[in-house]
Amino acid sequence: MPLTLTVDGERWRAHLREVAAAQPGLVPVAKGNGYGFGLGRLARRVAWLGCDTLGVGTYEELPEVATRCAADLLVLTPWRPYGATAPQDTWHRRVVHTVSRPQDLPALLEVDPGARYVLELGTSMRRHGMSGRELRDLAATWGGVAPRGLRGVAVHLPLAGGHLDEVERLVQEAVAADLGAGARTLWVSHLTSTELDRLRTTHGDFTIRPRIGTDLWLGDRDALTVTATVLDVHPIARGETYGYRGRSAPRAGHLVVVSGGTAHGIGLEAPLGEGSVRARASTLARGSLDAAGLVRSPYTVDGKVRRFAEPPHMQASMLFLPSGARVPEIGAELPVRVRYTATTFDRVVVA
């Protein structure tokens, strides 16, 4: 039995609807592992949400979502000339490219003369994006008439709010560039609801398109439960050896073999075990799990977060359960704490 994400469907959908209602122009973002749900499942929600555009991370992700929704597909990773080929898929007309360097625009239009695109302005993120001056110089070549494919300006901000001054400056850059009518759409990422409302009020002539992933799909964590299954249980005496590395048990207890391993993204987070060499030495005699180098796992057994008996295997993990704790039955389900954007579940059950 697998590592499972169980979704309280009613609660999850209520949250999605709430976000969509609060954020006109919402562009849901589906990328990577699909925030734990899978790209296809998220793509199938787009029409239901009433959205006309889905954001994806990379060009490689397009085929998986394109067959599952009819929306426009905004690629968040900027287009680059290397590896570019003329579009062939039937859905390529739905793609909206991100152009983050002035020289990439003519190169894109050469490969795909009918391309639609947003121009990305650089922000304090310093990831991608052209300067205000580059945007102005580019627009100056158009003579006030926006090119047919231009869909607006994109800005990607750091997390955690406090962006209003920066956004204001960026909007001024876009205005100063005089991109022409048809380009008065601002595609923004990581603005708070308050910041978005402010922007809509102060720049009523711009259409604001918030691109949201985490706060949409993962915004109501109480709708989500992650469980693993107990696959096996073995009593172990102190000093007995176990595992790939022939470690010896620091204390008597049980080895609990559970579903979920490195292939699922289990155990990738930094272990919390600490302690100096001296602290280790002084507790070693007492059979301390810290001293034995057993690090905290994300699994809970009998109400407590337990240690890995050894580093996670590819699809299963071994936990050490000290004697005294209630031993779970084979087949029991255990709570697991995971990072949703870094976990591949075996099963997603929308209940």
Provide the pairing of β-strand 27-30 with 207-212.
parallel
Among 15, 94, 211, 264, binds ligand PLP (CB under 6 A): 211
In the bound complex, what is the minimum distance in angstroms from residue 118's beta carbon to ligand PLP?
A: 10
Backbone angles phi, psi at 10, to 5 degrees: -60, -45
Is 299:258 a contact under the CB 8 Å cutoff?
A: yes
Per CB under 6 A, the segment of 40-48, 172-180, 198-206, 211-219 that binds ligand PLP is 211-219
Residue 305 and residue 141: Cα distance in Å, rounded?
Answer: 62
Binding of ligand PLP by 76 (CB under 6 A)? yes
Task: Identify which range of 8-16, 161-169, 207-215, 332-340 contacts ligand PLP by CB under 6 A.
Answer: 207-215
189 binds ligand PLP (CB under 6 A): yes
Strand partners, 121: 130, 155
Mask: binding to ligand PLP, 16-35, rule CB under 6 A, as x and -?
Answer: -------------x-x----
Tell me the C-alpha to C-alpha distance, in Å, between residue 315 and each of 2, 262, 346.
Answer: 9, 6, 10
Q: Between residues 45 and 254, which has the closer beta carbon with respect to ligand PLP?
A: 45
Which of the residues 126 through 165 are near ligand PLP (CB under 6 A)? 156
Nearer to ligand PLP by Cβ, of 156 and 203: the residue is 156
Tokens representing 334 are 């255990």
Strand partners of residue 333: 229
| Of 189 and 229, CB closest to ligand PLP | 189
Cα–Cα distance between 184 and 188 in angstroms, integer?
13
CB of 34 or CB of 261, closer to ligand PLP: 34
Cβ proximity to ligand PLP, 76 vs 236, nearer residue:
76
Tell whether residue 15 is a contact of ligand PLP (CB under 6 A): no
Region from 170-178, 205-213, 253-261, 343-351 binding ligand PLP, contact rule CB under 6 A: 205-213
Phi-psi region of 152 (alpha: psi -120 to 50; beta: other; left: phi over 0): left
Closest-by-Cβ residue to ligand PLP is 213
Sign for the CA dihedral angle at 218, 122, 93, 84 comes to negative
DSSP state at residue 130: B
Exposure pattern of 93-114 as b/e (b: 16+ CB <10 Å)? ebbbbbbbbbebbeebeeebee
Alpha carbons 343 and 29: distance in angstroms, whole number? 17
Shortest Cβ 105–ligand PLP spacing (Å): 19
3 state DSSP class of 232: strand
CB of 173 to ligand PLP, least distance (A): 18
Q: Which is nearer to ligand PLP, 223 or 257 (CB)?
A: 223
Handedness of CA 121, 123, 129, 134 (dihedral sign): positive
- Assess 62 for contact with ligand PLP (CB under 6 A): no
Q: Which is nearer to ligand PLP, 127 or 304 (CB)?
A: 127
Q: Examine residue 66 and tell whether it contacts ligand PLP (CB under 6 A).
A: no
The residues, any chain, with a CB within 8 Å of residue 317's CB and separated by 6 or more, are 257, 258, 260, 261, 266, 267, 297, 299, 308
Nearer to ligand PLP, 25 or 253 (CB): 25
Q: Which is nearer to ligand PLP, 299 or 345 (CB)?
A: 345
CB of 205 to ligand PLP, least distance (A): 23
Q: Choose among 147, 65, 60: nearest CA to 102.
A: 147
Considering the rule CB under 6 A, would residue 214 count as an interface residue with ligand PLP? yes
Q: Given the rule CB under 6 A, which residues bind ligand PLP?
A: 29, 31, 76, 156, 189, 211-215
